[in-house]
Structure 1
Amino acid sequence: MNTSSQTRILAIALALATLAACVLAAINFEQERGYEVPTDGIWWTEVAGGLQAQRVPKPSPGHRAGIRTGDILISIDDHQTTRLAVLVREMFRSGAWAHATYSILRPPSNSDSLKNATPLTIQVILEPKDRSINQGLRFIALVYLCIGIYVLFRRWTAPKSTHFYVFCLVSFVLYAFKYTGELDTFDQIIYWCNIAAGALQPALFLHFAFSFAGDHPAVKHARLRRKIFSSLLYIPGIFLIVLQYAAIRYWSATELLHHRLDQIAVGYLALYYVIAAVVFRFRYRRADTALERQQLKWLTRGTLLAVTPFTLLYAIPYMADWNVPDLQTKIAGLCLVFLPLTFSWAIVRYRLMDVDLIFKRGVTYTLATAALVGVYFGIVALTGEMVHNRLSNLGVWGLLVAIIIAGIAFEPLKRAIQARVDRVFDQKRLDYRETLVEFGRSLNSQTDLRTLLDSIVEQLPQTLLVTRVAVFLASDESATRHFDLAASHGLTNLQEADLDALDVRFLDFDRPGAHNHIFLENPQQVLRLPEPQRATAGRLDLNYYLPCRVANREGGGTRTVAIIGLGRTDDGDFLSSEDMELLETLAGYIGIAIQNARLYQRLEQKITEFESLKEFHENIVESINVGVFAVDLDGRIESWNTEMETMYAKTRSAVLHQPVSDVFSADFVARFNAVREEQGTHTLYKFRLALPNGETRVANIAIAPLVTRNFVAVGRIVLVDDITDRIQLEAQLTQSEKLSSIGLLAAGVAHEVNTPLAVISSYTQMLTKHMRDDDRLAPVLEKITQQTFRASEIVNGLLNFSRTSGSEFTTVDLNELLRDTIILLDHQFRTAQIRVETNLDPQLARIHGNPGKLQQVILNLMLNAKDAMFGMNNAMLRVATFNGPGRVFVRIQDTGAGIEREHLNRIYDPFFTTKTKPQDGAHKGTGLGLAVSYGIIQEHAGKIHVESEVGVGTAFQLEFPASATRPLTTAAPSSIRLQDADKGTIHA
C-alpha cells in the first residue's frame, strides 16, 4: 500500500473515531443530567458483620444524620448490608431526597469489638451525588479535543502530530466518559471505554515523550529495538484492563477491591507522567540543536507544571488513603490541562524562539483594528451630529441616509488605512513576498549556471542582510557523490588552496531522517563532528545550511543538488522562523533552477546523441535481413522496415496506419488475433505466408508485446524471418539423411537378400514345374514362393523410401506407417537380436501430415534405438500408439545405454551426435537425424518428448493434433500408458 492510501485510511479512521467519541460523550452527558445518583456521602467498606464507615466527611448527609467514623451498618430499611452493592441498590430504590433507615452498631471508644456496641437507628436523608467535578473534567476533555484537532489540521505533517492527536482523543474519552450507575448496556460501554482510555493514555504520553524529537535510527535492527521497546510501554496498561475484567468477572466485588484497583490506576498514571517528565528533561540536556533545546524546554516545563500538582496534591494522598479536601482534588485535576496546551505550542510553532514576534504581531494587529473601528464610528457619529444639528428638518430619515453614505464612503478610506498599517507594521513580510517573486523570476529566466550562482550569492545578502553566503554544488552522480564550494560571498578568510581541504560530509541531507536545514549555534565548536569536518565548519563560519532538493528522475523521493550556507545578520543576530521559511521556499526554487541550468548545458549534447542513437537504431532495423513491423492496440500498422517492403512489394507509406487485415492474408490475421491479447512471445513455426503477388513463402513469425519503459503494453511487434530457402536446404539434408540410411539398408539387403533371392527364385521355378502334383512338396514350394514375394516387398519398400516425396499433407494412419517401417527394418532387428513389441491402438485417430516425412522421423528414431541396443542381451524395442484429448501419441522405447543427462538439452542441435566412436557393426552418426526429425515434428504442429536414464534406456514420445475426419477415442488403454510398470519406469 502506498503512502497516500495509508494517509487516507488513517484520516478516515481518525474522523470516525472522533465522531463516535463525540456522539457517545454527548449521550453520556445527557444521561447523567437526567439521572440522579443518591448517596449518603460516606465511604463504606466490607467488614465482619456489615459495612464500616471509613470516612464520614463533615458536609455529607451521613455526617448530618449522626453517623461517625467506625460505625457498623447492619441494615438499611430492614435489608441486611453484607456487601456494599446491597447498600447501593437500596439507596437507588429509595431515591434522592428520600429517608433511609440505617441500623447502626457503634463500638465503644478505643475499641473495635462489637460485643458492647450500641445499636442505633438513624434516619438519613439521601442527597444527589455531587458530580460537579465531572463538568470540570469534561472541560479538560474539550480542551484536549479542540487542541488536538487544531494541531492536526494546522500541522498534519509536523513530527508526531498524529500521535499527539491520538493522545488527545484518548484523553477526551478518559475525561468525558463518566459511568452513571444506570447499569444498562450504554453505561457498560461508557465504563469500559473509560477503563481502556485510563490504561492507554499514560502509555501514549510516555511513548510520545520517548519518540518526540528523538533520533530515527537508519539501521534495521535499531528500528526494530525501538518498536519493541515502544510496544513494551503498553503492557502495564493492558495488564490493568485485564485486572479490571478479572476483578468484575471472577473476584468478590468488594469496595476495598474497587478502591485498590483505583489506587493502582492512579499510581500507574502518576508514575508514567513522572517518567515522561524525566525523559523530556534528559532529552533537553542532550539536545544538539538550539531548536530542539527550545522545544524540549517548553515540553519539560509544561509537563512539570501539570504533573507536579497532580502527583503531590492528588496521586500520593489518594494512594496513601489520606483525607484531602475536594477543592485540592479539583485543582490537581485541572492542572492537567497544561499538558495539551504546552504540547500544542511546541508542535505548531516549529521555532519557539519567535514567541515575542508572534505576540508583538498580534498586539499590533489588535491595536490597528481597534483604531480603524474607532475612526469609523467617530466619522459616523460626527456625520450624524452634523445632520442632526444643522439639517434638523430632514428628521430621522435624513440622519439614517447620512450615516449610510458615511459608511459607504469610509470603505475606500478603510482599505487605504489598512494597507498603510500592513506596510508599516509588517513591512518585512511584504518585502519578503516581493523579493520572492522577483528572485523567482530571475531564477526562471537564467540558464547559465555560473551566472545563476553569482546571482544567488549577490541577492541573498541584500534580502536577508547576512554577511556570509556560500553555495555548494553537488558533483555529477557517481558512487562517491560530494559537494564542492561553487560560489560565495563574504568568505574572505578562505584561500584557493583551502578549497580542496574542505570536508563537508556532515552536509548529508539525503540520509533517512534528515531535517530541512542544519543550524550550528557556534560553528567554531561543533563537538559532535569529526576533526576534519569540525575544522571545515570553523573555516566556513556559517550557521545555517539548507538543501536545494529536486525530485528523483526515477522512483520516488528527492535528492540534493546544492546546499546554501548562511551566516548571521549584519547585527550579529540569528535568522527568525520567517527567514527560514523564506529560505526553505527559495531553496526549492534554486534547486530547480540549478537543475534546469545543468540540463540546459547538456541539452545540445543530449539532442545530438539522441539523433545519432535514433539514426543508429533505425539503421539496425532497416539493415537486418528480417522483416519487422509494429502494430498498435487497435490493430493498425505503425512501422514497416525495408525487408518488409521487399518481401511484400509495398512501400512504407502505403501500409502505415492500415489495419492488419487489409495487408495480410486471413490465415495470418486469424493466428495474430488469437495471440494478440496473450502475454509473452508467440512464435509461428514454418508458417506459410501468402504474399500479394500470389507467391507463398515459409517464415518463422515471432509476435511479441511492445511495451514502454514502465511495462505498459502499447501494441505488438512482429518479426518475419523468411526461411523458404532454409526449408529447401533442410529438405536436401533430409534427403541426404535418407540416402545415408538407404545406403546402410541397401548394404544389408544386397548382402543378405539379393543372392538368396536369386537362388530361391531359380529353384522355385524349376521345382514348381516338376513337383506340381506332389502333395507333400507342394506346400513347401508355396512357402518358398511366399518368402520370395516377401523379399520382393522389402526391396520395393526400400526403393519407395529412397524416392523423393512431395510436401503435400494428407490423412495419415500412424499404425500403418509404423507397421511398414517395422517391416522395412525387420531384418536389421533380427540381425541385431532385438525383439520388437508393438501395442498399437486399433481405434487410433488419424492425423494430417506428410507420410514420407513422418516415416523418416520414425525410421530415424528406430535406427537410433537399434544403435543404442547394439550388442546387448535381451534387447527390446517397444512401439505403442494411443489417443489423448484431441491428440495422438506415438511412443518408441528402447532398453539401450541411455543418454547422459548433460546431453539431453543438445540432442536436437544440428551435427551434435554421441555416436562418434561406434561399435563394430554400428554406424557413425551425422548429428542431423534428430535435428531433421525435430523440424518435421514442428512442421506438423506436434511435439517430441524424451525420457532417458543411463543404463536403463530411452523413450521418445511423439504428439500430434488429431485430424477431425475420424472420431477419436479419448481414453487410452492402461496397458499403453503404463506399459513399463513391470520392467521399471524410465526417467529423464
Structure 2
Amino acid sequence: MKNGAQTRLLALLLAIITLAAAGLAIANLVQEGTYVPPTDGAPKIEVRSGLEIYMVPAGTPADRAGLRAGDILTAINDVPTPRMAVAERLLEASGIWSKAKYTVLRHPRAGGPPASIDISIILEPADRTDHQVMRLIALVYLAIGLYVLFRRWTAPKSTHFYVFCLVSFILYAFKYTAVFDGLDLTVLTANFIAAALQPALFLHFALSFTGESETRRRHRWVHALLYIPGAVLATLRFLSLEYWSPTQRLQHRLDKIDYAYLATYYILAAVVFWVRYLTERRPLERQQLKWLSRGTVLTTLPFTAIYVVPFLFDWSVPRNLTNLAVFALILLPLTFSWAIVRYRLMDVDLIFKRGVTYTLVTAALVGSYFGLIALAAEVVHNQVKSERLRDWGLILAVIVTGLVFDPLKRMVQGHVDRIFDRKKIDYRTSLVEFGKELNAQTDLRALIDSIVERLPETLLVTRVAVFLAQEYRTPRGRVETRFTLAGSHGLSQQVASAPESLDLGFLDFDRRDSGTHLFFENAQAVLRLPESERRAASALDLNYFVPCRAARHEGSGLSTIAVLGLGRTGDGDFLSSEDMELLESLAGYTGIAIQNAQLYQRLEQKITDFERLRDFNENIVESINIGVFAVDLEDCIESWNAQMEVMYATARADALRKPLNEVFPPEFLTEFDRVRDEQGTSTLYKFRLPTPTGEARIANITIAPLLNRDFQAVGRIIIVDDISDRVNMETQLTQAEKLSSIGLLAAGVAHEVNTPLAVISSYAQMLNKQLSSHLAQDENGRARLQPVLDKIIQQTFRASEIANGLLNFSRMGTTDFSRTDVNATVRETVMLLEHPMRSAGITVTTELAEGLPVVNGNRGKLQQVLVNLVLNAKDALQEKSRGTVRIVTTAPSNGQSVEIRVEDDGCGMSAEVMRRIYDPFFTTKLAPKDGQRKGTGLGMAVTYGIVQEHSGTIEVSSSVGEGTVFRLEFPALDAPSRTELRATGPEGNTEEGKVVHV
C-alpha cells in the first residue's frame, strides 16, 4: 500500500508539473509572439567607457552598418549608454526598422588614440529562430519522455528518465522575452532552476542506470553531491537579480558558467557510459549501454565543440552550424528511450509465454495428426471387408493424411511465427530487401558499416566481419590478392586494432575446389590450416566465411570481391540451412555492390583530382595581378579573370561569350587584326586602352596563340599588364629629375648673377645721387639723365628678384616646421590680398571645415603657396567683369589628412599648358594685360617644391573657358578626437556665411 500510494502520489505530482510546464510554455510562446524587440544583432558587455561590442556576427544590422568587434558604444541617439539596460530601452524607444545613431569609440588599426565616430544603423526585429529550434527540441524531449513513461512505467529508471526529459523541456522551451512581467519572471526563474537541475539529473542517471550493486546502494548519498554545483549556480542567479547590479557583463559570465557546467557534466556522463559499456559483461546491459554511450557521445561532442566552446571564448560561429549542434540534442532522448524500451531488464515473461505457446501448438498439431490418422484407419477398417485391402488402405490413409497435413502445418507455423516472432520475420524480410537495395549505395565505407550493422540484427549473431580483397604487387612483379579486415562487429579489441597482423590466406575462394562457404565448428582448433592462418582464425573466432563474388573486369568468370565472416548466435547456436541460403543470396548482392562502390570511389577520386587541378589552375589565373582573357577562333571571349574585371571596369558576365568588337574599342581591334597572322607572341607596348567608363589605361598587351595538347591553335590568350600607375610615376620622376637639374643650374646662375647685379645696383644708385647734386640747377640735364638712371636701378632690382626666386627654388636648406592651423593660414592670406582683389573686382569666398586637424608645416611657406595660387587665379579672371575665387578646406580620410582647394571660374588652361605649369621659367604672362602681372615663370615651380617639402600632393584640373581647380593635400599631424569633421556639399556642414568679399 505504501509503494502504491507513493506511486500514485508521484504520478499525480508529475502530471501537475507537466501540465503547468506545458501551459507556461504556451503562454511564453504567445507572449514572445506579441513582443518583438528591435536589435542590432551585436552582443555587448559593459566596460569603463561604455558598452564594448565583443562580436559582430555576419549578416546582422551591426555588420551591415560597419561596426567592428572592439568598438565601444558610448551613446545611442546622443544619449549615453553606460549600461546594457539603458541601451535596450533606447533601442526599444527607437522601434523596429528605425534608424538609430550610434556614437562609438574606435581604435585606429594603425595605432593611436581612439576616434569618436557616428554610425547610422537600421534596427531589425530580433531573430528568434534559435528559440523555435530549442522549442522543437523541447517538444521532442517531452514526447519521448511521455512515451517511455506510458510504455514502460515499471522499467528501471523510466521515472528518472521522464523527470530528466521534463526538466529538459522547461530548459529549452522557456525563453525570457524582456517584458519582465509576472509571467516572464516565472519563466525566467523556472529556466534558471532547470539549467541547474538538468546536467545533475543526467549525470545521476548515468551513474545509476543499470542494476545497482550493494556497494552502490550504500553510497547513494554520494549522488546528492552532484546537485551542489547546480544549487550554487541557482543561488548566484538569484543574488544577481535581487541584490547585485544586473549588468550584462555579470549575466554573460553567469551564462558562461552555466554552459561550462552543462558541458562538463555531459562529458562526464559520456565517459561514465563509455567505461561502463567497455567493462560490462552481461549481454542485455551491454546492449543498453551501447546505445546510451553512443547517443551521449553523438550529442555531447558536436554540442560542446560547436556551441559551448565558441560561446565560452566569444567566437563567432555561423548560425546554421550552431543550429545543427543544437539539433544534436535530440539524439539523447531518442537513444535513451530505445535502450529503456527495447532492451528492458525483464524479458523472462516473454520467454515463458513463447515456450508455453510453442508447447501447446506442438501438442495440438501432434494430436490432430494422430487423430486424423486414427479416423482414417477406422473408416478404412469398417468399410473395407478384405483384410489385405484394410492393411493397404490404412497405409494409404496415413500417407494421404501426412501429405495433406504438411502444408497445413507450415501455414499454422507461419502464423505462429508472425504472431510471436514478428520482429525476426520482419528483420529477415528487410535483409532481403536490403540486399536488393545494396547497389544504390555508392559510399564504400557506409556500405560496409551498414552490412556490419544489419547482419547482427537480422541473423542474431554476435560477431560479424567484412574482409575486402586488395591487389598487391610482389617484388617479382606478380599480382596477388590479399584480404584485409575492413569492418567488424563483436571482435576482440586486439584484432580490431591490429588487423594487418592476420594471415588470411585461407580465404582463397577463387580456387576450383572452393565451395560456397567455409565452416569452422571450432575456430580455435582448425588443424588443417598452417600455423599463421590457424592463429588468425583463432583470433577472429568466426565460424562462417561466405564469399561475395562479382564478374571480373577482364576476362570471364567471377572473382571474390569480399568475404563475410560470422560467428554463432547470441544463444550459442549455429546458423540453420535457411539462414545460410539467405546469407549466400545476400553475398551475391553484396559483391556487386562493393564492386560498384569501389569503381565509384575510384571514379570519384579521379574527378576530385581533376577538379582540384582545375581549381588550382583557375586560382593561379584569378590570383595574378595581371588581366588575362582568352578568345576562341571566332574571336569570342571564353575566359575573363578578376583583374580584367577591375582594370577594364567590365563584369565577367558582361564579357563572356561575346565578340571582341562588342567589348573592346576600335583602336584595340585594329592592332589585334594587325598581329592576327603573326607567328608566335606579339606585344603592344604602352598601348592606350580606353575603358567603358571613359578612363584610359596604359598597358603592355601580349597576344599569344592558345594551343591544345596536340599543339593546335584553338584560340588566343591575351595578357594585359596595366602600367598606368608606373607611367604616372615615371612622369613624376622625370619631372622631379628635371626640377632637380634646373634647381642645380638655377643655384649656380643665381650665385653668379647676384654679385654683378649688386655692384651694378650700387654704382647706379651712387651715380644717381652724384648726378642729382651736380645737375641740381640744370633742369634739362636732370630731365634727360634721371629717367635713364631710374630704369637702370629698376631693372637691376628686377634682375635681383629673379635671381632670388632662383635661389628660393633651388635652396636645399632646412626649414622650421611646427604645428600649423591651415584655416588660420587661409584667413591671413585672404586678409593680405584683400586690397588687390577688391581693386580687381574679384570676390573671394572661403568654406573652412570646423575642427580641422593641424599639419606639420611652415606657416610662411604655406602662405606663399596660397598667395601664388590666388594671384594666378586673379590674373585668370582679368578678362571677366566679375569673378570668384573659392578656397575650401576639408578633412577627407576620416581626419588623416587636410585638403585645400583653390577654385576659380576664369579662362582655364589647355592640356598643353597644364603639362608645363610646374616647369621653371614657363609663363603665359609674357605680354600681360591691364591688371595682370608680368610672370617670371617661377611661381608654380616654387609652389611645387614647397608642397613636396611638406610631404603633400598637388593636383590641377582645368577646362578652357570654365575655370581651374588646384587641390592640395597635406598629412595631418594628429587626428581629431571628439569633433566631427564637417564640410559643405558632399563633405558635410561648413562655416556658413564665411564669405569674404574683397
TM-score by length of 1: 0.36
Structure scoring higher RCO (CA < 8 A, sep ≥ 6) equals 2
